Amino acid sequence: MNSYLGEIAALGTSVCWTFTSIFFTIAGRRVGSITVNRVRLVLAVVFLSVTHLLVQGQWLPAQAGLYRWFWLGLSGIIGLVLGDALLFQAFVWIGPRRSMLLMSLVPIISTALGWVFLGERLNAIETVAVGLTVGGIVWVVSERGNANEAPSDRRHYWLGVLAGIGGAMGQALGLVASKKGMAGDFAPLSANLIRMLVAVTVMWSYTLLRGKGGHTLRALTDRRASLSILGGAIVGPFLGVWLSLVAVKLTRVGIAATLMALPPVFVLLPSWWIFKDRISLQTVVGTAIAIGGVAIILLF
């Protein structure tokens, strides 16, 4: 069972991020995605600090050296600040369907980076499994939408494509940097707290310099948005990212990233129920292919 803990953690990450996307979609439609992004990290730091005190006996990971702070902090800036900012902008320019299609590149990029920087290798069966899973995800999220989703401006379309690729690159680089920062016997909980602390410091320093702090706080008077951000922060930056670090610590980055790329598939049923999105035959087939890839990874 222990040999599969990394894969199980990665699947748990996908489940958490599925619920995160629902919570943050509700909140983002009411107060804007930028406000959601700022507040979610603050809440995550609070939750993580309290949990770290209960589990490790310290508010902060004081035992971490400069090496870990550098790599984990870099991971937080690249993945949580820059990567997420690019992804959110891609949502605006080319819509969520195309953006999630580009985010399905994360397993491929992560596998390549894990090979170059960490010396990780996938065998033939695992390579086929990664290909099946990514192919299934691409099939699901690339389904033709309605005409209203088409970008009205070609320049914004290509900028959105670049932003989506940048978001995928940010997440992949963040995973690799996290694994370097957790080298040896270092707790993923402590690593997650370091990533969040650095990310929230960078993001809120920029926010305050721009004089946007008051605007963000005023947006929290929307009760439904605040509750949605709270729920999303618990299952996303807190539990989801914690599980993602457990995954990259216990298994190869390419495998972890593949299993963590399943939210576009997992979100189908909740989206149908909550947002009334239709589920087509293409969606069902793509889901089956993606789940088949996951099964191969877990069984072989």
At 151 the pLDDT is: 47
At 50 the pLDDT is: 93
Average pLDDT in the 156-162 region? 84
pTM: 0.78
At 220 the pLDDT is: 85
Give the chain's mean pLDDT. Answer: 84
Question: At 164, is the pLDDT very low, low, confident or very high (cuts 50, 70, 90)?
Answer: confident
Q: Is the pLDDT of residue 140 over 60?
A: yes
Q: Is the pLDDT of residue 105 over 90?
A: no
Average pLDDT in the 162-176 region? 90
* Total domains, the chain: 1
Q: Is the pLDDT of residue 145 over 70?
A: no
Which ranges constitute the DSSP H helices of the chain? 5-31, 33-56, 66-75, 84-103, 106-118, 124-141, 154-181, 188-209, 213-219, 223-233, 239-250, 253-259, 263-266, 268-274, 281-299
At 231 the pLDDT is: 92
Q: What tens digit of pLDDT does each residue of 267-288 get?
A: 777 777 876 767 788 878 887 8
Question: At 158, is the pLDDT very low, low, confident or very high (cuts 50, 70, 90)?
Answer: confident
Question: At 298, is the pLDDT very low, low, confident or very high (cuts 50, 70, 90)?
Answer: low
Q: Is the pLDDT of residue 197 over 90?
A: yes
Cα four-point dihedral sign 220, 226, 232, 233: positive
Q: State the residue range of the domain holding 106.
A: 2-299
In Å, what is the CA distance from 279 to each residue of 14, 37, 268?
20, 29, 7
- Residue in the block written with tokens 């192919």: 135
Q: What tens digit of pLDDT does each residue of 43-70 get?
A: 999 999 999 999 989 999 988 889 999 9
